[in-house]
Chain A
Amino acid sequence: MSEKTEGRGLARAVPSERYWKPRSKAWVAAEGLSLAALLTVNLLMPTVQEVEDLPYRIAVSLGLAFLAGAIVVSIFNEKARSRLYHHAQFVFALALVLIAWDLVTEKSDLLPLPFFPSAAQILQVIVEDYEKLLISTAYSLRLLVVGFAIGTVSGLATGIFLGWYRQWGYWVFPTVKIMSVIPATAWIPVAMIVFPSSFGAEVFLIVLSVWSPVAYMTATGIAGIPKAHIEAALTLGADERFLLFKVAVPGAMPSIFIGIYTATGLSFATLVVSEMIGAKAGLGWYINWAKSWSNYAKVYASIVIMAILFSLVMDLIFKLRDRALVWQKGLIK
């Protein structure tokens, strides 16, 4: 998936190699067979629930086609070959899990509906209700972007200010500290009163959830800049602006990014909860709305879309961090 997942603490047997699983054709064959079995089971076994299986079958077939394509490419491309071998075991296991899921749901009714729909049914919902889901996704994304942007910028400004000016830090930093332990969602009742529109209240909650960790980590990062760096800059003729923006802020970047990705996780939680309370659209609202109809397939559909959306946002944050902190490459770890 992403270029540099190393920093995220995935355990690795051989640190320097990204594709370390056995380079075995047998596993690739098993991968292909398991996907084929998945398709066959779904096609041939009688279905006891009322489900439109077509989207699911198309998706699995696409998976098989993708694998065939990857095999062809891997004949010519060494990197694609390494990747193919590396992921074979995982896809194999994934296919087995999906087969099991299929068997205990729509093929046998073993797990009760509506709470545990089959994968096919979730996909069916996504396809049938795509319009509403698309609008919900757009609403959530808009809320996230606006709230995250305001929260990050104000958090950075607060943190830089409090980290740099000791006197201000002394008086105001405790507030940041307190705010950072209170979940933003605890302010929901207050937000609903203070803001006339539900969108305003939701933005406020996300800003709050992003602001405090960013401000906290920025302030500690700036205050913790080694004195030696400041002194070196001073003997080179630095003024305060240079000290702050060319020494303190770049030096605090590692800490700032810890704040930013803590905030990212918190903002997702805040987004979903705040959309569940007052909103008229959004993925959180969609979950709540589907729940009131006891349409659990729709609940899962919204969760699947969240998973994809939030992973993409997280990946983007990590990419930005890797770019901003190239100078750390190989320094820590």
Chain B
Amino acid sequence: MSAEARTTEGAIKVEGVGRTYVDAYGHEVEALRGIDLFVNPGEFVSLIGASGCGKTTLLRLISGLDKPQAGKLFLDGTEIAGPSHERGLVFQQANLFPWETIEDNIAAGLKARRVYKEKKKEVQRYIDMTGLKGFERTYPHQVSGGMAQRASLARALINDPKVLLLDEPLGALDAFTRMDLQDRLLELWGERGTTMILVTHDVDEAVYLSDRIVIMTPRPGKIEEIIPLSSPRPRSRGDPEFLELRTLILEKLHFVSRPKGPEYFL
């Protein structure tokens, strides 16, 4: 499918969504309260915020794996009723099937949708793209955490969803591989116009990739501010504008003003 064909599809609307969990001690935890968010078709949005502010919860609600207690969620105007391959999810933990090889894990979506025969060739493409060549026949417990995460990313990408929900997909990777995969992700996004919703703790990553950055705060989890980024991609990481934005967002997250808060603890 071409980018044009796609950019009219994949709009996400989140309307007054709230979600409260009851933890193991019977205490109520308000993971999300009053979330309103509209993501345009083909838009790249990052969610950023402290641990426990409900980022994973929001992605799970959009994916349909979880249901809100208040409010509604829509994909292209249709209410989200349950999980579907139209909304792919890359889990925070790689969550591969331990009984399948890396290759079969990546092909799982094609098999689940019964299009494996026609799209068999795709598998190798995504194996190459995520740098997993040579590990096709190994099992998940035999590869490193970063490789498992890349396989998990490939497994979601190969399914060509309308909306891709990414829960810190590059979290376990070294800086070099991470930047490489960010570029691959941008390439794919440009090619297909998939709507991307990315959770990240890495401000640089958010600034490098996003159309908009959504800053969230915890207890209860809500949206604090949405920052639009207008400069065209590919962006240069050393650019003064880039650095300025980065500082701005760190300030919003109340970290720059603190004496010694290491930013990767966000």
Contact = CB atoms under 8 A, between A and B. Distances in A.
A237 B99 contact: no
B117 to A, nearest CB: 15
Interface stretch (B45-53, B104-112, B216-224): B104-112
Interface string B109-143: 10111000000000000000000000000010110
Contacts of B108: 233, 236, 246
A253 B112 contact: no
Contacts of A231: 65, 83, 91, 95
Contact of B100 (A235, A238, A327): A327
A114 interface: no
A247 B95 CA distance: 13
Contacts of B93: 228
Interface residues of B, number: 29
Contacts of A238: 112
A69 B84 CA distance: 65
B167 to A, nearest CB: 11
B200 interface: no
A130 interface: no
A239 interface: yes
Contact of B111 (A229, A242, A330): A242
A304 interface: no
A97 interface: no
B112 A237 contact: yes
A3 to B, nearest CB: 19
Interface in B52-73: 63, 65
B99 A236 contact: no
Interface of A is mostly: helix
Contact of A235 (B65, B101, B111): B65
Given A330-B141, A330-B142, A331-B98, A237 B109 contact: yes
A324 to B, nearest CB: 9
B246 interface: no
Contacts of A326: 139
Contact of B63 (A235, A246, A247, A331): A235
A232 interface: yes
B112 A236 contact: yes
A250 interface: yes
B87 interface: yes
A236 B97 contact: no
Given A228-B91, A228-B95, A331-B98, A237 B65 contact: no
Given A232-B97, A246-B112, A327-B98, A237 B84 contact: yes
B142 A236 contact: no
A231 B95 CA distance: 9
B141 A331 contact: yes
Interface string A312-330: 0000000000000011111
A234 interface: yes
A278 interface: no
A88 to B, nearest CB: 36
A55 interface: no
A251 interface: yes
Contacts of B85: 235-237
11 contacts: A231-B91, A232-B89, A232-B95, A233-B112, A234-B82, A235-B85, A236-B156, A247-B97, A253-B99, A327-B139, A329-B139
